[in-house]
A and B are shown apart, each in its own frame.
Chain A
């Protein structure tokens, strides 16, 4: 083995080019390429790797009927009261729609190879269905059930009837044809909570309503002046991740 220990003197023009190319190539929506890297890492100012963003208007995944059902559900999971607006006004249905339209909706990043078989509780979710399929099939099964039992859509039931049905779904006491009612409930509950509490850039938690309710100051990044102020109301108003170019939800 030969001996050769030499620190590179600085960034050469070629290295800068290599690194700038990497910066462009490794954007979130593109497939990252294999790169051979040598030399001082360079980066372009303001070349941050941004969060997923969507165009502003209309439903991107839901049909009008699905959207109406989901808005009705999220408004019961998070009802409007003196603490906060309801789930619909907070944007939870919009959030879920955008998530289903994005990489989450198809489980693009997840292992979805078979064979699929039901496992133990400890083995977790083994469904072959991705979120888009779960919502499309699940919401249809829900409305079919409500039509059969009440000749209405879910959204047209009274709030008390909606709560009773959601409680039955949660407890596994009601069964739909074609889709497991309990798993639909859990799917919607989890995504609704994500939407209500996530940063507003994703379409839910409009005007940071949930953070204001809880006293969570959001995207602040420096509490050095506060860490030793124990047991005090610090009165910090929440802030959100800044708007990104091409982003909506203004």
Chain B
């Protein structure tokens, strides 16, 4: 183990959260080192327009994702089972390399609603404590919309987010999302133009009295220069978006919006292909002293630092804390401990509509072009007597139609042979689908812990996921998908497939990479791991930032909130912590 000279700040992970904080703290004049377990990624080389349109490579062979050989998770549905490793990614896609999962994300950039940050209090006030199902362990976030809003704005300005605001400083605007919290300003770029499918859906939704809006999207709609002076180009709707890197510099990621500016700062250094093994603490356990990491030649290094920021993907944030012995591991039996608790996911539902005589040209698309409605999301509708809480964002977002993965087939079609081929040919251009990305509420037995049987190449335990859908969420899925089916019926398809989430969570089919919780924020150290500044309780010079901080997951994509939390943590460090290093809540 070789010891490197001490630095002011070490940041683990150079995806969205890590790049945001590293850049903010470099601006503060601090010496910042960023450590990334994957390779350096660069648009011109890695997402070259000549080779990026490769479905086999980027989707089937998961080129941009973390190699499971390097690190994976084990999974089981309940504590009585033996967890087994996910040998290939399925359900979700952790990223790898600079930019992280933010290189291959879809770009959908919702803000969470004001009620979300005090969800438990809000539901208790509206429906009474006894209405909340016993299985749920909902919590408030320890922060508020008012505290979050400026940081959402910061993130959107960096990402160039396109959209149409439905609520600017309390003034509602028709055509925007009527359910969004009051915004201090409009989106930085106007909404994307819409293909046929979303347009038809919006028309049908409007006819039923709903208020459709363009999905907020960090695929910029026009050339845009962000506050760091980094310029992005307009989205071309190429349809190679989710799971791919963007060759046009249109999809916001750390590599298209932050790293070009950050790398030019003399007080920032990035180490790539270097995996952090442990966060070190002093003998009291109340002060982080740096990290150890291993590089690709197998050499181990210690990087001492005054301030440690853990900003990897949800799973690795939690695993690093468990491996480093920081915080107390959660035990679902005693309900004690906080590291690993409140793990949640997203409940994915879908309705597929088969038409005759329509041509959607489904290859025209992008991860975040589309139209949505929020009438059945979160607590935007009255849940009295329904027996569940939560809801979903209902929307049509055609992501492209590369045909290894996109092969819409009506019910009872064979999977091969002459009849299969005819059915595929007849339905490929004339099928669309409406998705419902719905909430996932936390329960006592859904949690993260270290696996007792499986190890990574360095001999460290893999992270073990114990998760199944809450009965609450499955009821919600039935109800909300029924609402989607009503809209679909009004569009008069020849036939349709209605698919609410049912049964057990499966690690096999892709659902979403929206894995959250495990190192959650809150106002009570006995039920949370970090305070509202993302500062670890009892270790004030350690911050753990990411979706790992969400106490439960609403019916929205998480990245906008991950970005806002990163800016929030950086703000607290710059404006409070550096002036008076120490714990910021009770100090």
User: Is residue B223 within 8 Å, beta carbon to beta carbon, of the partner chain?
Assistant: no
Is the beta-carbon distance between A32 and B296 smaller than 8 angstroms? yes
Cα separation A192 to B265 with both chains bound (whole Å): 49
Give chain A nearest CB distance to B418 CB in angstroms: 5
What 1/0 flags go to B195-211 for Cβ under 8 Å of A?
11001000000000000
Rounded to whole angstroms, the CA-CA distance of A106 and B50 in the bound complex is: 28
Q: Name the residue among B27, B403, B508, B578 with the largest chain A CB count within 10 angstroms.
A: B403
Bound-state Cα–Cα, A103 to B57, Å: 11
Contacts of B421 in A (CB 8 A): 78-79, 81, 83-84, 213
Give B227 Cβ to nearest chain A Cβ, in Å: 14
Once bound together, how far apart are the Cα atoms of A237 and B416, in whole Å?
Answer: 25
A41-B42 in contact (CB<8A) = yes
Contact code string A199-239 (vs B, CB < 8 Å = 1, else 0)? 10110000000110111111111111011111111100000
B236 interface neighbour in A4, A170, A221, Cβ under 8 Å: A221
Q: How far is the CA of A37 from the CA of B418 in the complex (A)?
A: 55
Inter-subunit contact A214/B424 (CB<8 Å): yes
Partner-binding segment picked from B69-77, B111-119, B126-134, B523-531: B69-77
Report whether A37 and B61 are in contact in the complex, using a CB–CB cutoff of 8 Å: no
- CB contacts under 8 Å to B, within A70-126, are 76-79, 81, 83-84, 103-104, 107-113, 115, 117, 119-126
Q: How many residues of B contact A (CB 8 A)?
A: 102
Complexed CA–CA distance, A229 and B360 (Å)? 10
Within 8 A of B (CB), among A155-175: 163, 166, 170
Does A1 have its Cβ within 8 Å of any Cβ on chain B?
A: yes
Chain B residues whose CB sits within 8 angstroms of the CB of A14 once the complex forms: none
CA–CA, A153 and B146, complex, Å:
72
Q: CB distance B263 to A33 under 8 Å?
A: no
Indicate if B144 sits at the interface (CB-CB under 8 A). Answer: no
- In the bound complex, CA of A83 to CA of B68 (Å): 39
The SS class assigned to the B binding surface is: loop
Shortest CB distance A1–B (Å): 5
Cβ-closest chain A residue relative to B61: A104
User: Once the chains bind, are B45 and A221 in contact (CB under 8 Å)?
Assistant: no
Q: Is the interface of A mostly helix, strand, loop or mixed?
A: loop
In the complex, whether B495 has a CB less than 8 A from a CB of chain A is no
Q: How far is the CB of A16 from chain B (nearest CB, A)?
A: 13
* Beta-carbon contact of A120 and B77 below 8 Å: yes
| Residues of B close to A77: CB separation below 8 A | 416-417
Q: Which of B315-364 contact A (CB under 8 A)?
A: 358-361, 363-364
Partner of A189, one of B51, B87, B269, B415: B415
Q: Is the CB of A231 within 8 A of B272?
A: no
Instruction: Tell me, yes or no, whether A38 is within 8 Å of chain B by CB.
Output: yes
In the bound complex, CA of A226 to CA of B364 (Å): 8
**Is A51 close to B, CB under 8 A?**
yes
* B84 with A126: CB separation less than 8 A: yes
Q: Are B45 and A49 in contact (CB under 8 A)?
A: yes
B82 within 8 A of A: yes
A5-13, A59-67, A140-148, A176-184 - the one binding chain B: A5-13
Q: Of all chain A residues, which has the CB nearest B200? A: A230
The listed residue with most B CB atoms (<10 A of its CB), out of A113, A126, A163, A210, is A113
Q: With the chains together, A85 CA to B277 CA distance in Å? A: 53
A residues near B403, Cβ cutoff 8 Å: 197, 210-211, 214, 216
Q: For residue A4, which residues in chain B have a CB less than 8 angstroms away from its CB?
A: 29-31, 266-267
Cβ contacts under 8 Å, A119 to chain B: 82, 84
Cross-chain contact A35 with B271 (CB below 8 angstroms): yes
Q: A126-B84, A215-B429, A220-B53 are in contact. List 5 more A-B contacts (CB 8 A).
A: A7-B266, A33-B297, A49-B51, A219-B53, A232-B361
Q: Can you list 22 A-B pairs with a CB-CB distance of less than 8 A?
A: A2-B31, A5-B267, A26-B39, A33-B295, A37-B271, A38-B268, A43-B44, A50-B51, A77-B417, A103-B61, A109-B69, A122-B506, A124-B507, A197-B403, A202-B56, A221-B53, A224-B234, A226-B364, A227-B237, A228-B194, A230-B199, A232-B359
Instruction: List B residues at the A interface (Cβ < 8 Å).
Output: 8, 26-31, 39-40, 42, 44-46, 48-57, 60-62, 67-69, 72, 75-77, 81-82, 84-88, 90, 193-196, 199, 234, 236-240, 247-248, 259-260, 263-274, 295-297, 306, 358-361, 363-364, 401-404, 407, 415-418, 421-422, 424-425, 428-429, 453-455, 504-508, 578
Nearest first, the 7 A-B pairs at minimum CB distance are A34-B295, A3-B29, A48-B48, A230-B196, A219-B53, A111-B68, A198-B56
